[in-house]
């Protein structure tokens, strides 16, 4: 007798997703004033990206208006948002960082 999972393999994945706590994307938004070098440093310092990947993400935000820095559990995402926002404010840059649920 076939199990429901054998009949519908996507069911196991649906159940896993329903049981797991949601993850959150941390997203940088573009603005006209924050220097590109500062954004690259933020991506390296707070999100562990290398120079090349940080530059790719920064240019994506610059051209498209937003870009994903990483995906984390809720508390870690919230901490990153507040650390980046505080760091930007300390340096008097208007850089905006937000989090959103990753479904
Ligand atoms: N648009 C900015 C500039 O031309 C650079 C920038 C990139 C700002 C990404 C914010 O999240 C950002 N200096």
Cα of 33 vs centre of ligand 1, distance in Å, is 7
Cα(5)–Cα(13) distance, rounded to whole angstroms? 9
- Ligand 1 centroid – CA 97 distance (Å): 12
pTM (2 d.p.)? 0.88
| Ligand 1 contacts CB of residue 35 (under 6 A) | yes
pLDDT averaged over consecutive 10-residue blocks of the chain (103 residues)? Answer: 57 84 97 98 98 98 98 98 98 98 92
Q: How far is the CA of 63 from the centre of ligand 1 (A)?
A: 9
Distance CA 93, CA 82 (A): 14
Q: Is the shortest distance between the CB of 81 and ligand 1 below 6 Å?
A: no
Task: Give the pLDDT of residue 15.
Answer: 87
Q: Give me the residues paired with residue 24 across strands.
A: 72, 101
30 in contact with ligand 1, CB cutoff 6 A: yes
């Amino acid at each position: 007798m076939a199990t429901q999972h054998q009949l519908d393999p996507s069911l196991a994945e649906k159940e896993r997703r329903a049981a797991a706590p949601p993850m959150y994307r941390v997203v940088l938004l573009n603005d006209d004033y924050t220097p590109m070098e500062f954004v690259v440093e933020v991506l390296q310092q707070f999100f562990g990206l290398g120079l090349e990947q940080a530059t790719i993400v920064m240019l994506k935000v610059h051209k498209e208006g937003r870009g994903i820095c990483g995906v984390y559990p809720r508390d870690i995402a919230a901490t990153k948002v507040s650390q980046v926002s505080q760091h930007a404010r300390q340096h008097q840059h208007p850089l905006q960082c937000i989090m959103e649920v990753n479904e």
